[in-house]
């Protein structure tokens, strides 16, 4: 009798565990559309080159159409014993059309098949993300235009530094997203070479036409080295790198929203649509969506780290380790997509508390630089000395617990006799921001021009003239 403790299981145990660790169908069924698209392109090419007959091609096409219908309708049975999406579909095709199904895999291996499917999925997802970035940027630019003249404190070290406009602050994020979007576009351009036809790793002796399959799947050209084609996942690493940087940007805005909606700041309001209440503290409105966007960053960067680690020790070419690429790619890019959607919703929803922002903009002696600049401009004194004079006036205001524009002219003249009444024209927050007209500066008129530039650029992209 075999060991009673584990002997009964031993005969089947290892095989069952092998199936469990080996199968990827639980997650790679997401690739079914890409897999069928690849098989359509491949079989059409095989027929065009006389490698399979026109009748077999017809059967393969019809069978693939039916399978797509079944998967779409949710009636397809995915089987773990068939390991992955490629073999699940091929087995079903054999059930439907018999031996012709076996000819589909001529001059192809699961290695180039999976490389293609994953690449197509990443490409489709990058295209979707591109549209999401465009929408987010448009919503943000419109918000910026609407609030181009709303003043708020600009921060360095999270200390009030100089007044800025709310619109200017929002457009800073648009600039970052534009670069994120450009990084994804670069990645897309680089990935757009077709690995199909590399076969297992060495190419094939069949007279295939790789340019034909590449073109029919929307690629710029076929990949040039069959070993590289099946071994590499750098397009995925690049997409996840771009996603990580973009996630960092979304997280910084999310963090600002968390700060801005707090009772201590109250710079903006978010509606109930993007906040939740507390089950015990009735006064609370928690910015959960922003917090979760912030948290997704860890997850997205985790995907990049995990996949980089999977790849780093692999000799060429395909190794089974690479099956682990999919969950990281899916989770990383889908998390970014969700974070983008939630951010777009929050931005649309968000309204500035104009009065609070204005009061805050004037606190912390935020127009001190304007005073120093005035001293330089009007009295011709060196900036260093102006800085010193301003410091003393700030000291007076601080001692009286008031703002700079509330220090009397007499008190200012005690510090520097040349100061005149005119100085008060630069001490107000709105005068301060209106004066920042240098290119890229915060003056409302600049902000309006920049917001309009973004809006028309993004609109033009949507409907090119």
Q: How far is the CB of 87 from ligand ARG (least distance, A)?
A: 8
> Which of 320, 413 has the CB closer to ligand ARG?
320
Selected catalytic residue, list 2, 53, 81, 278? 278
Which of residues 29 and 435 has its CB atom nearest to ligand ARG in the complex?
A: 29
Distance CA 78, CA 71 (A): 9
Q: State which residue, 209 or 228, has the beta carbon closest to ligand ARG.
A: 228
- Residue 34's contacts (CB-CB under 8 Å, 6 or more residues apart) are 116, 117, 118, 120, 121, 124
CB of 244 to ligand ARG, least distance (A): 23
Measured from the CB atom, the residue of 322 and 375 that comes closer to ligand ARG is 322
Catalytic-labelled residue, pool 157, 279, 438, 463: 157
Tell me 82's DSSP state: G
Query: Parallel, antiparallel, or unpaired: how do β-strands 268-269 and 351-352 relate?
Result: antiparallel
Task: Specify the pairing of strand 221-222 against strand 193-194.
Answer: parallel
Q: Which two tokens stand for residue 126?
A: 């990058």
Which of 292, 302, 322 lies closest to 118 in space, CA to CA? 322
Q: Which is nearer to ligand ARG, 114 or 250 (CB)?
A: 114
Least distance from ligand ARG to the Cβ atom of residue 92, Å: 16
Question: Distance between CA atoms of 407 and 84, rounded to whole angstroms?
Answer: 76
CA angle 420-424-428, nearest 5°?
165
Task: Find, among 163, 166, 164, the residue nearest to 148 by Cα.
Answer: 166
Nearest to 182 by CA among 126, 251, 122, 247: 126
DSSP 8-state class, residue 13: H
Closest distance to ligand ARG from the beta carbon of 429 (Å): 59
Rounded to 5 degrees, what angle do the CA atoms 429, 434, 436 make? 105
Question: Rounded CA gap, 280 and 397, in Å?
Answer: 43
| Cα torsion angle, 411, 415, 418, 419, sign | negative
Closest-CA residue to 59 (of 48, 70, 47, 71): 47
Active site residue 168: no
Instruction: Report, in Å, the least distance between residue 269 CB and ligand ARG.
Output: 47
φ, ψ at 27 (rounded to 5°): -115, -30
| Least distance (Å) between residue 319 CB and ligand ARG | 9
Which residue, 108 or 436, is less far from ligand ARG as judged by CB? 108
202 vs 398, which CB is nearer to ligand ARG?
202
Do 366 and 442 touch, CB atoms closer than 8 A? no
> Which is closer to ligand ARG, CB of 21 or CB of 224?
21
Q: Is 60 exposed, middle or buried (0-12, 13-18, 19+ CB in 10 A)?
A: buried
Least Å distance between CB 25 and ligand ARG? 8
Name the residues that contact ligand ARG, by CB under 6 A. Answer: 24, 28, 84, 110-111, 114, 318, 322-323
How many angstroms separate the CA atoms of 360 and 354, rounded? 10
Per the rule left: phi > 0, alpha: psi between -120 and 50, beta: everything else, 268 is beta
Residues assigned a catalytic role: 157, 278
């Amino acid at each position: 009798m075999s060991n009673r403790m584990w002997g009964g299981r031993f005969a089947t145990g290892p095989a069952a565990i092998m199936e469990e660790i080996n199968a990827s169908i639980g997650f790679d069924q997401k690739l079914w559309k890409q897999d069928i698209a690849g098989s359509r392109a491949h079989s059409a090419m095989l027929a065009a080159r006389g490698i399979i007959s026109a009748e077999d091609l017809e059967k393969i096409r019809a069978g693939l159409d039916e399978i797509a219908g079944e998967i779409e309708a949710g009636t397809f049975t995915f089987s773990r014993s068939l390991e992955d999406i490629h073999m699940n579909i091929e087995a079903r095709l054999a059930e439907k059309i018999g031996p012709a199904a076996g000819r589909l895999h001529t001059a192809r291996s699961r290695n180039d098949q999976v490389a293609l499917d994953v690449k197509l999925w990443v490409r489709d997802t990058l295209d979707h993300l591109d549209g999401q970035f465009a929408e987010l940027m448009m919503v943000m630019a419109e918000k910026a235009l609407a609030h181009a003249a709303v003043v708020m404190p600009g921060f360095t070290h999270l200390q009030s530094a100089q007044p800025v406009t709310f619109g200017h602050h929002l457009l800073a994020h648009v600039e970052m997203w534009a670069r994120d979007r450009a990084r994804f576009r670069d990645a897309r351009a680089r990935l757009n070479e077709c690995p199909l036809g590399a076969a297992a790793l060495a190419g094939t002796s069949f007279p295939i036409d790789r340019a034909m399959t590449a073109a029919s799947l929307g690629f710029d050209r076929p990949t040039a080295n069959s070993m590289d084609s099946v071994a590499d996942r750098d397009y995925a690493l690049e997409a996840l790198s771009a996603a990580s940087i973009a996630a960092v940007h979304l997280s910084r805005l999310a963090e600002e929203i968390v700060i801005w909606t707090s009772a201590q700041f109250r710079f903006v309001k978010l509606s109930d649509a993007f906040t939740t209440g507390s089950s015990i503290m009735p006064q609370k409105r928690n910015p959960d969506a922003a917090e979760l966007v912030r948290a997704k960053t860890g997850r997205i960067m985790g995907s990049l780290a995990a996949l980089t680690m999977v790849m780093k020790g692999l000799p060429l070419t395909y190794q089974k380790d690479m099956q682990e690429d999919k969950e990281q790619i899916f989770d990383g890019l889908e998390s970014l997509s969700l974070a983008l959607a939630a951010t777009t919703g929050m931005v649309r929803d968000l309204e500035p508390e104009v009065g609070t922002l204005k009061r805050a903009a004037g606190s912390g002696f935020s127009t001190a630089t304007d005073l120093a600049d005035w001293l330089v401009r009007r009295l011709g004194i060196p900036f260093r000395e102006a800085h010193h004079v301003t410091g003393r006036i700030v000291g007076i205001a601080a001692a009286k617990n008031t703002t700079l524009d509330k220090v009397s002219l007499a008190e200012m003249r005690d510090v520097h006799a040349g100061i005149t009444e005119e100085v008060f024209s630069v001490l107000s927050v709105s005068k301060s921001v209106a004066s920042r007209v240098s290119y890229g500066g915060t003056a409302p008129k600049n902000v309006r021009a920049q917001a309009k530039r973004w809006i028309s650029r993004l609109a033009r992209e949507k409907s090119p003239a």
